[in-house]
Amino acid sequence: MNAMKTFVLTSLFAGCAAAQGFNDRPPNGSDQEPAFENQTRAPALPRVAVAHRTVVDGLEHPWGMAQLPDGSWLVTERPGRLRLVAPDGTLSAPITGLPKVDAEDQGGLLDVIVGDDFADTRRLWVSFAERDPDNLTHVSVATGVLSKDATRVEDARVIWRQTPYPSTLHYGSRLVLDDKGGLFVTTGERGGNEFRHAAQDLQTTLGKVVRIDPLTGAPMGKPGVAGALPEIWSWGHRNMQGAALAPDGSLWTTEHGPMGGDELNKPQAGRNYGWPDVSYGTEYSGEQITEGLTQKEGTEQPVYYWDPSIAPSGLVFYEGEMFPDWNGDLLLGGLQSSSIVRLKLSGDRVVGEARYLQNVGRVRDVDVAQDGAIMLLTDEDGGALIRMTPR
């Protein structure tokens, strides 16, 4: 493994969309209109110079990361490995003790998180794809305790399993501990025309935000609909691979659309976010989604959407000292855009967008280090943990 590369690369961005190189392409949904100003293609933010360096590379499709109090990072690799990256870039051997994962297609070991009390409890949570005895697959969430020497997860146990389906796509699967004792889990609707309408079925957990007790998995959702599964928080989602808690304690998510129609949402309990009845995306064939509707009574509009797609994955609110003007901004990874995307908010609306490190690779996750540096994971055969700072 190549740790702590010494070279520094610089990325400069102009203050207009044309110069920055994003939003140059026409939307796929050329006849669609946003519901309100700046719901898409918000003004480009002023130029900022940044530098980045690779902390460690050679990772096999890394997916999620969590910083520990000593400055090291837990990093998942989709084939089923959990690693520890020391502050100096040293990469550990795989940490043992996790449940068996199913790594076919988009499955594998996915997200990892720790709580604010990790220094005392050493508790962590992981999400992963699992295959059941009937050969169906689902997202599962497990919790356990990282050993003092960080070589194994002790007492790992599965606390929650998604509705199983015969698909190996669209697992979603970000984890967020809230400030009221709950654990949010985002799920995908498992992909394709055959399964997508399950996102509207309140007897499944496909295409949902669910909220559970982080130690027992007991339902803590608020669907507000008779007969709905009690762990459901919101529904009508496609494939949520970004989730973060805002400074005010509210949950925000990003999800993949099909061809265009990627969304930023602020999911509210008991609300329907439309998929697949409503979408700003189009089929990969170019045909309309369902009836081609972008608005429908009883469904919520996204706070923001992208067309063409950026394929958003990973989400965090910036809070730190290195980029003081960015405090309160949203940062997300772009798989298809191969960049870090920054959104400036005013209340619950986006007022500006910028992109950094364009062509850095498929950015699967993004987080903020203790010193305010921005950390990203690139999802490649030889993926990397990368540190971004001001130049």
pLDDT tens column, 200-217: 999 999 999 999 999 999
| Mean pLDDT score of the chain | 94
Closest CA to 109 of 125, 90, 127, 121: 127
Give pLDDT, residue 20. Answer: 59
What is the β-pairing status of strands 153-161 and 109-114?
unpaired
pLDDT score recorded for residue 229: 98
Between 222 and 10, residue with greater pLDDT:
222
**Whether pLDDT at 189 is above 90:** yes
C-alpha dihedral (305, 306, 310, 315), degrees to nearest 10: -20
**Which pLDDT band, with edges at 50, 70 and 90, does 19 fall under?**
very low
> What's the CA angle centered on 357, arms 328 and 103, to 5 degrees?
90
| pLDDT at position 145 | 98
Confidence of residue 34 (pLDDT cuts 50, 70, 90): very high
On the question of pLDDT at 59 being above 80, the answer is: yes
Please count the residues of the chain. 391
Q: Residue 10 pLDDT > 80, yes or no?
A: no
- Catalogue the active-site residues: 170
Tokens of 203: 């007897």
Please say whether the dihedral angle defined by the alpha carbons of residues 341, 346, 349 and 351, taken in this order, is positive or negative: negative
Confidence of residue 193 (pLDDT cuts 50, 70, 90): confident
pLDDT at 36 exceeding the cut of 80: yes
- Mean pLDDT in residue range 21-31: 88
Q: Which of 18-22, 149-153, 328-332 has the lowest mean pLDDT?
A: 18-22
pLDDT band at 194 (very low <50, low <70, confident <90, very high): confident
Query: Hey, what's the torsion of the CAs at 332, 334, 339, 342, to 10 degrees?
Result: -30
Amino acid letter, 102: D
Token pair, residue 10, equals 């610089």
364 residue type, one letter:
R
Sorted by where each starts, the structural domains of the chain and their CATH numbers stand as 48-390 (2.120.10.30)
pTM over 0.85: yes
pLDDT at 2: 40
What's the pLDDT score for residue 195? Answer: 83
Q: Walk across the sheet containing 9-11 and list its strands.
A: 9-11, 50-59, 383-390, 374-378, 363-368
The residue-averaged pLDDT of 36-42 equals 97
Q: How far apart are CA 219 and CA 241, in angstroms?
A: 21
Q: How far apart are CA 206 and CA 188, in angstroms?
A: 6
Show Cβ contacts of residue 51 under 8 Å, excluding neighbours closer than 6 positions: 8, 9, 10, 388, 389, 390, 391
Three-state SS string across the chain, please? CCECCCCCEEECCCCCHHHHCCCCCCCCCCCCCCCCCCCCCCCECCCCCEEEEEEEEEECCEEEEEECCCCCEEEEECCCEEEEECCCCCECCCCECCCCCCCCCCCCEEEEEECCCHHHHCEEEEEEEEECCCCCEEEEEEEEEECCCCCEEEEEEEEEECCCECCCCCCEEEEEECCCCCEEEEEECCCHHHHHHHHHCCCCCCCEEEEECCCCCCECCCCCCCCCCCCEEEECCCEEEEEEECCCCCEEEEECCCECCEEEECCCCCEECCCCCCCCCECCCCCECCCCCCCCCCCCCCCEEECCCCCEEEEEECCCCCCHHHCCCEEEEECCCCEEEEEEEECCEEEEEEEECCCCCCEEEEEECCCCCEEEEECCCCEEEEEEEEC
The CA dihedral of 379, 384, 389, 390, to the nearest 10 degrees, is -70
Q: Return the pLDDT at 32.
A: 95
Residue in the block written with tokens 């590369």 = 5
**Given a cut of 80, is residue 18 above it in pLDDT?**
no
Report pLDDT digits (tens) over 234-243: 999 999 999 9
